[in-house]
Amino acid sequence: MGTEVRRGTIDDASQCGAICFQSFKGLADRHSFEPDFPSVELASGLFAMCFVHPGFYGVVATRDDSIIGSNFLDERSQIRAIGPVSVDAMAQSPGVGRLLMQHVLDRVTRHGAPGVRLVQHGYNNQNLCLYTSLGFVVREPLSLLGGPPH
């Protein structure tokens, strides 16, 4: 059976949160950065909120009735925002991330939004290649600084 994309529900939040946490943590660990989400519970809680909030459109990728990834589209502004997009490391194969991205980009087009944006970690070259192949253009660097002030 192939990969399918469907609208996500609150019942998907725990599994999607765990996939996202592991995906982003693995990437951050490989590059010696702090993970985006400090716990599975926090990621799952965010996803639960996004799945039920009317301003967000969330989708999940499934294969053999198992969730293998997710993506979100923030529709609360004229310029839409994508993410987080994540795919289970054990299920990654060419095309899953692209399928999730294309699904939300098609929605942007159908709804006539004038633009869409996403934020990309500078150290994640694999996703940068996907995003540029989908037509995204790097506009400007974004730095996230942390720590106590002097």
Q: What is the CATH number of the domain that holds 44?
A: 3.40.630.30
For residue 106, being part of any structural domain is answered with yes
d(CA 117, CA 79): 7
d(CA 81, CA 84): 9
> Which DSSP string do the residues of 44-60 spell out, in sequence order?
HHHHHHHHH-TTEEEEE
Inter-residue contact 76 to 49 (CB < 8 Å): no
Total domains present in the chain: 1
Domain membership of residue 102 as a residue range: 3-133
For residue 144, being part of any structural domain is answered with no
For residue 143, being part of any structural domain is answered with no
For residue 148, being part of any structural domain is answered with no
> 120-134 as b/e, with b when 16 or more CB fall inside 10 Å?
bbeebeebeebbeee
- What pTM, to 2 d.p., does this model score? 0.91
Inter-residue contact 101 to 82 (CB < 8 Å): yes
For residue 104, being part of any structural domain is answered with yes
For residue 127, being part of any structural domain is answered with yes
- What is the pLDDT at residue 121? 84
For residue 44, being part of any structural domain is answered with yes
For residue 61, being part of any structural domain is answered with yes
Q: Which helix (H) or strand (E) holds 6?
A: strand 3-7
Strand, coil or helix: 74: strand
Would you write out the chain's pLDDT as a tens digit for each of its 150 residues?
689 999 999 999 999 999 999 999 998 999 888 889 999 999 999 999 999 999 999 999 999 989 999 999 999 999 999 999 999 988 777 789 999 999 999 999 999 999 999 998 888 877 888 898 899 998 888 877 778 888
